[in-house]
Structures are given as C-alpha cells and as structure tokens.
C-alpha cells in the first residue's frame, strides 16, 4: 500500500541524494491539525551525523517576516498603536528626504519603499543604534510604489517601529525589555504552540538543531546561531530574520493563520488578516503585506489556489497556505549547509508542492 504523500516524499528523498540539503522535515495540515509529517536525511553530510527527526530545529530565516513581524504589525494595528498608512518619517526621525517623505509602513511591508534588497551593514555596524540611521540614510534605488524589490532593510525598520510602538504605549522613559521584538513575539509563540519557536534559541537545543553554513565572517560552522549576519549584528533578533523552530511549530502557526482566515480571532482580527493577505496594486508585484501570493512561477508550484499565501527563507525554509482548500505545507531544510552557494532546492520546491496538492486532492 502506498504511503500518504509518497510522491512528495520521493522528491525530498531525491533532494537528499542530490545533496540539495542534508536535512529536511515536511508537514501538511489543515486548520484543525497536521495530517502528515516526515523527516528526511541527517543534520549534516558528516559520517555519523545524527538523523533528522520531527523534533529537529531549523533556522527559519525570512519566515520570520511573516510569522513574527507581520503578525506583530497586525496586532499593533488592532491595538491602535500604528496604522499601515503611517509615514515612516513620523515613526523614525532619521528617515528624511523629499524622495522618501511619503513612504509608509505599507510600503515597507509590501517591499515597495525604494530601499535596496540588502546591504552588509554587519561589517561596520552593531545594534539598532547604528543600524537604524544607516538604513534610513541609504539612497533609494527606485521611486516608492513604482515597483517592488524584496528588501531585508525595510523589515528591519518595521521591527524597530514595533519596539517603539509598544514602548510608547507603556509611556516609560527607560528601556523596557518587555517591548523588544523578541519579547513581543514570545507572548504570541507561547499562545500558538508548545513546540520550539523563538529568537535566540537556548544552547540546550543545539544537539537537535540543523547546522547552516560555515560562515567566513564569524569563522565557524553555525549551529543554533542565526545564519543572517545582519541579524547576528543586531543581537540575534530582527524584523527580517532570527526565528528558530521545529516544523510542528511552524505548522501550528499555519493552523492559527487558517483559523483566523476562517473568522476566528486568533492571530489578529480576521478583517485585519484579510487586508494583509490581499495582493497589493504595486506594478509587477505578487506581494501582499508581509506575505507573498501565489504565481505559477512561485516556490509553491502551479497547483495551489491563486489566493494562496506564503513565504520562503534563505536557509531553505518555506511555508505556503492555500486557505481556499484549507491546507498548509511546511518545508524546512538547511540547504545552505555547508555553503549558501547550493541552490538545488529551487527546482525541488515547486515539484514538491505540486505533488502535495495533487495527492491532497486525491485523498481529501
């Protein structure tokens, strides 16, 4: 008898053999729970490396943008602490200039602010006190809202604004550790799942954490230490990266998202969530607010509904939610081990998702 999602599993097994990644865990589920989860490979390519299990922890990279940052923005909107149409210059005084005075939080969330995709600030800057002015003074690459360039820089700024919004709400003239991005998200994570899902994971998780790459800047193999260098220079938690989790934890978040879309007040007020997952009108863009949306050329393949939402992470992670079908697909890998130059996952992702949706429709 064929196993559930056997074609999808075969694709991931071939990915292991093709050295697209040494370690992978996949989960498929609906709003009421997981229906399939399977682990593949070993944590590294080294002989004797531990086998991947359902409890393996992965560096989520840019899944942080939707799981943590976008969710926290939605909650801040619901609490009246900010709006997506607030001007950035009204939130961050260093953001100045005629070319950027009309840029809003919405533009940062939809990657249409004019900011470049990436700059290696970690080489010269440490902490928010140095990163914030450096990003705010970075020349824009295009006219805001004229197009979309996926930008880590914009989400770093969103993270800073979230800290300020909660700090201002408490009306304190001193640093309040409960308003940091990590602390704000911790309260959501403990509500959503009992599985590992956090910034700056404890050392006790390292034996079951999938290593990422050998980082030339830090001179070591990274295990349980954030792969993204800018996040590392920001202390391990930032608006664009930094979360670590198991596949089950990401699946629990996806279930909460599906429940919210279905009308329950879980991650945010349902109308707020609906606004955030609606594709923007930015020319040539598939972006919603924080979330990406389905295109036939997306990592989610060609079979998901046109309204599906999702995101990928640089380290080899992805989450896609086809809410019309009530199904989500989590795929966590460490494709950057031992080097980020390995891009074989690009062909595997769409094939895997197509197989999942085809088998899901046959079984459901």
Q: Residue 211: phi, psi to the nearest 5? A: -60, 150
Token duo for residue 232: 């590392």
Q: What is the pLDDT of residue 177?
A: 77
- The residue-averaged pLDDT of 199-212 equals 97
Round to whole Å and give the CA distance between 61 and 316.
8
- The residue-averaged pLDDT of 209-214 equals 98
Of 356, 358, 312, the closest CA to residue 28 belongs to 356
- The DSSP element (H or E) to which 26 belongs, if any, is strand 23-30
Task: Please say whether the beta carbons of 198 and 189 come within 8 A.
Answer: yes
184: left (phi over 0), alpha (psi -120 to 50) or beta: alpha
Domain coordinates in residue numbering, the chain: 6-67+185-363, 83-181
CATH topology identical between 6-67+185-363 and 83-181: no
Q: What is the pLDDT of residue 178?
A: 83
Q: Going by C-beta distance under 8 Å and a sequence separation of 6 or more, which residues neighbour residue 281?
A: none
pLDDT digit string, tens, across residues 159-179: 999 999 998 655 545 557 788
Q: What is the pLDDT of residue 1?
A: 40
**pLDDT range class, residue 146, cuts 50, 70, 90:** very high
Burial class, 170, CB count within 10 angstroms (exposed 0-12 / middle 13-18 / buried 19+): exposed
pLDDT digit string, tens, across residues 118-135: 999 999 999 999 999 999
Buried b (16+ CB within 10 A) or exposed e, 243-256: bbbbbbbbbbbbbb
Task: Please say whether the beta carbons of 311 and 175 come within 8 A.
Answer: no
Task: Tell whether the torsion through CA atoms of 221, 224, 230 and 235 is positive or negative.
Answer: negative
215: left (phi over 0), alpha (psi -120 to 50) or beta: beta
- The residue-averaged pLDDT of 230-256 equals 98
Given a cut of 80, is residue 363 above it in pLDDT?
A: no
CA distances from 307 to 140, 198, 332 (A): 31, 28, 22
pLDDT digit string, tens, across residues 13-68: 999 999 999 999 999 999 999 999 999 999 999 999 999 999 999 999 999 999 99
Mean of pLDDT over the chain: 96
Q: What is the pLDDT of residue 176?
A: 74
Token duo for residue 105: 């939080």
**pLDDT range class, residue 244, cuts 50, 70, 90:** very high
Given a cut of 70, is residue 80 above it in pLDDT?
A: yes
- Return the CATH class of domain 6-67+185-363: alpha beta
Q: 176-180, 231-235, 301-305: lowest mean pLDDT where?
A: 176-180
- The residue-averaged pLDDT of 201-207 equals 97
Torsion of CA 42, 45, 50, 51, to 10 degrees: 20
Q: How far is CA 181 from the centre of its chain?
A: 14
83-181 maps to CATH 3.30.70:
no
Token duo for residue 304: 């998901």
Of 332, 260, 277, the closest CA to residue 63 belongs to 332
Q: What is the pLDDT of residue 173?
A: 52
């Amino acid at each position: 008898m064929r196993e559930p999602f056997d074609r999808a599993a075969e694709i991931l097994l071939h990915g292991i053999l093709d050295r697209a990644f040494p370690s992978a865990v996949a989960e498929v589920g609906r709003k009421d729970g997981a229906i399939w989860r399977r682990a593949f490979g070993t944590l590294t390519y080294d002989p004797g490396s531990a086998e991947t299990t359902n409890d393996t922890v992965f560096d989520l990279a840019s899944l942080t943008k939707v799981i943590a940052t976008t969710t926290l923005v939605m909650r801040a909107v619901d609490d009246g602490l900010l709006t997506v149409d607030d001007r950035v210059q009204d939130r961050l005084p260093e953001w100045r200039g005629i070319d950027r005075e009309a840029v809003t939080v919405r533009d940062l969330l939809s990657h249409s602010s004019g900011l470049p995709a990436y700059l290696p600030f970690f080489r010269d800057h440490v902490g928010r006190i140095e990163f914030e002015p450096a990003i705010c003074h970075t020349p824009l690459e295009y006219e805001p809202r004229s197009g979309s360039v996926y930008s880590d820089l914009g989400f770093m700024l969103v993270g800073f604004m979230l800290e300020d919004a909660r700090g201002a709400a408490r009306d304190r003239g001193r640093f309040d550790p409960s308003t940091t991005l990590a602390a704000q998200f911790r309260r959501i994570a403990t509500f959503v799942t009992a599985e590992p899902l956090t910034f700056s994971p404890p050392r006790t998780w390292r034996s079951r954490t999938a290593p990422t790459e050998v980082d030339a800047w830090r001179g070591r193999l990274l295990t349980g230490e954030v792969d993204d260098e800018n996040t590392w220079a920001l202390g391990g938690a930032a608006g664009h990266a930094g979360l670590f989790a198991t596949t089950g934890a990401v699946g629990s978040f996806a279930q909460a998202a599906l429940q919210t879309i279905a009308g329950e007040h879980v991650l945010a007020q349902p109308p707020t969530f609906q606004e955030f997952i609606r594709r923007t009108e930015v020319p040539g863009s598939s972006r919603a607010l924080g979330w990406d949306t389905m295109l036939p050329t997306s990592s989610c393949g060609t079979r998901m509904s046109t309204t599906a939402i999702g995101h990928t992470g640089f380290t080899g992670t992805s989450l896609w939610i086809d809410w019309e079908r009530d199904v989500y697909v989590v795929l966590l890998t460490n494709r950057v081990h031992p080097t980020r130059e390995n891009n074989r996952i690009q062909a595997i992702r769409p094939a895997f998702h197509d197989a999942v949706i085809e088998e899901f429709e046959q079984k459901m």
